Amino acid sequence: MVETPADISKILVNAYPDCSFLSKLLIRFRPYICPFHELVKRVEKGSSVLEIGCGTGIMTILLAHLGKIKSGIGIDVSQKSISIAQKAIYPSSSKIVFKGISENESWPGGRFNTIISIDVLHHIQKEKQRVFIKKLSQTCNGGRVIFKDVSPKPFWKAIASKMHDFLLSGEHICIRSEREVLQWLKEEGFFIKEFQRLDMLWYSHYLIVAEK
């Protein structure tokens, strides 16, 4: 049972033996700024998971090591990140596939009881963010969505998040308020089961668990 970011970090260090030093460093320390130890608690054992914007696959790989999922598909527009995810080690009892997709490509079909989106929305252009939520709704077939992103409040923590992404990728992110995202999900027919903030260090996160 994992309780702390340190527990998560230990699992991930062993799961990614064949990536670069920089990638290993980012994977090792990300659990200290992203609340994976809380996110995994929202995934029921035996779930079939689709992770949108999986990056290097941390969440899906972690769920496999914790025995939480029977199958998982992770998609991302970064082929470099997908290549790292595909080399990760995980238990053979979980069937996992990582796939690179283009921005306009359709997401995988099928029935998933859990769809996960972690820190994806703020990387999407402002005018396309509402479309992303609609696409999320169309992919959810009566299951659960676990959605986490960064908050614009307090202002100084939002600045920290913007600086973080700019320094790592040179990207100017667009942070959308949790109030707007909650409203969008409700408009798409979701029932909001849980909402809370999960701040860590100087990063301000919010978590939404929604169901149809």
Question: What digits encode the pLDDT tens for the residues 96-125?
Answer: 999 999 988 889 987 899 999 999 999 999
**Mean of pLDDT values over 38-56:** 96
Residue 110 burial (C-beta neighbours within 10 Å; 0-12, 13-18, 19+): exposed
What are the Cα distances from residue 28, in Å, to 32, 61, 103?
9, 13, 28
The yes-or-no verdict on residue 1 having pLDDT over 70 is no
Task: Give dist(CA 39, CA 19) in Å, integer.
Answer: 24
Give me the percent of the chain exceeding a pLDDT of 70. 99
Query: Residue 124: which of 72, 184, 84 has the closest Cα?
Result: 184
The yes-or-no verdict on residue 166 having pLDDT over 90 is no
Question: Which SS3 state, helix, strand or coil, does residue 206 take?
Answer: strand
User: pLDDT tens for residues 174-198?
Assistant: 999 999 999 999 999 999 999 999 9
The yes-or-no verdict on residue 9 having pLDDT over 90 is yes
Task: Please list, in sequence order, all residues whose beta carbon lies within 8 angstroms of the beta carbon of residue 183, skipping any fewer than 6 positions away.
Answer: none
Question: What pLDDT is attached to residue 103?
Answer: 86
Give me the percent of the chain exceeding a pLDDT of 90. 83
Please give the torsion angle defined by the CA atoms of residues 150, 152, 154 and 159, in that order, rounded to the nearest 10 degrees: 80
Q: Facing residues of 75 across strands?
A: 52, 99
Query: Residue 73: which of 42, 104, 109 has the closest Cα?
Result: 109
**Domain residue extents for the chain:** 5-211
164, 203 Cβ separation under 8 angstroms: yes
What tokens were used for 3? 């309780």
Domain 5-211, CATH among 3.40.50.670, 3.40.50.10800, 3.20.20.10, 3.40.50.150? 3.40.50.150
Beta strands per DSSP E along 103-204: 114-118, 144-150, 191-197
